């Protein structure tokens, strides 16, 4: 990232009701993962939320764990964390593409997920992105999840006076002051 670039960051999401987030991390590069986790926890707590943390063997297992948690638990959102550093084989491409695709597909199903799985060329890039004092991508992933939770809550709020409303027994059929009759 060039030092003269500026980036806009949305204001922190705010909530009327408590938010519970699951952080799912693949700690293959433990020191990088620990920094990502610290950033995610701090962001969730700053928004007044609570978190649980689970570890999975690798980045490919992150979407599976999130899918399982969605079916079997009660989280409002998820933070996916881990780091994939390019190696000498095409395995890097598979892990990056498939973990990202899995998370995207879950998101398109309505899950609120912040994707913080780093996909980098080398360890120095990973360190810069994980560092709390530099890019803090763990905190950014948590912020993304929290913003999606806020949107989901906004759009799932009860609506009144909008759209089709089916007839009920209390609504009289036009032309019949007594309502429906049976033969």
Residue 53 located in a structural domain: yes
Residue 135 lies in a domain: yes
At residue 167 the predicted structure's pLDDT band, cuts being 50, 70 and 90, is low
Residue 157 pLDDT:
73
If one counts the domains in the chain, the total is 1
User: Among 98-102, 127-131, 155-159, which stretch is predicted with the lowest mean pLDDT?
Assistant: 155-159
Q: Which of 91, 105, 172, 173 is catalytic?
A: 91
Asked whether residue 97 is assigned to any structural domain, the reply reads: yes
User: What's the domain range around 54?
Assistant: 20-155
Residue 160 has pLDDT above 60, yes or no: yes
In a domain, 87, yes or no: yes
pLDDT digits (tens, 9 = 90+) for 32-81: 999 999 999 999 999 999 999 999 999 999 999 999 999 999 999 999 99
Q: Indicate whether 100 belongs to any domain.
A: yes
Termini Cα distance of the chain:
77
Q: What is the phi/psi pair of residue 97, to 5°?
A: -65, -45
Catalytic residue flag (residue 91): yes
Question: pLDDT by residue (tens digit) across 76-119?
Answer: 999 999 999 999 999 999 999 999 999 999 999 999 999 999 99
Domain CATH code at residue 76: 3.40.50.960
Q: Could you tell me what percent of the chain has a pLDDT over 70?
A: 85
Q: How far apart are alpha carbons 168 and 63 in whole angstroms?
A: 43
Whether residue 40 lies inside any domain: the answer is yes
């Amino acid at each position: 990232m060039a030092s003269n670039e500026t980036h806009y960051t949305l204001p922190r999401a705010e909530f009327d009701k408590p938010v519970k987030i699951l952080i799912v991390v693949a700690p293959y590069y433990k020191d990088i993962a620990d920094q990502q986790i610290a950033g995610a926890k701090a962001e969730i707590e700053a928004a007044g939320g609570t978190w649980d943390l689970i570890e999975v063997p690798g980045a490919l297992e992150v979407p599976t764990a999130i899918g399982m948690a969605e079916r079997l638990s009660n989280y409002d959102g998820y933070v996916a964390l881990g780091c994939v550093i390019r190696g000498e084989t095409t395995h890097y491409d598979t892990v990056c593409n498939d973990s990202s695709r899995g998370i995207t597909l879950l998101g398109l199903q309505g899950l609120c997920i912040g994707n913080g799985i780093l996909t980098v060329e080398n360890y120095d890039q990973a360190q810069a992105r994980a560092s709390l004092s530099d890019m803090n991508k763990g905190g950014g992933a948590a912020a993304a999840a929290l913003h999606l939770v806020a949107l989901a809550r906004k759009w799932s709020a009860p609506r009144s006076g909008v759209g089709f409303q089916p007839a009920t027994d209390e609504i009289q059929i036009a032309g019949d002051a007594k309502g429906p009759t049976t033969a």
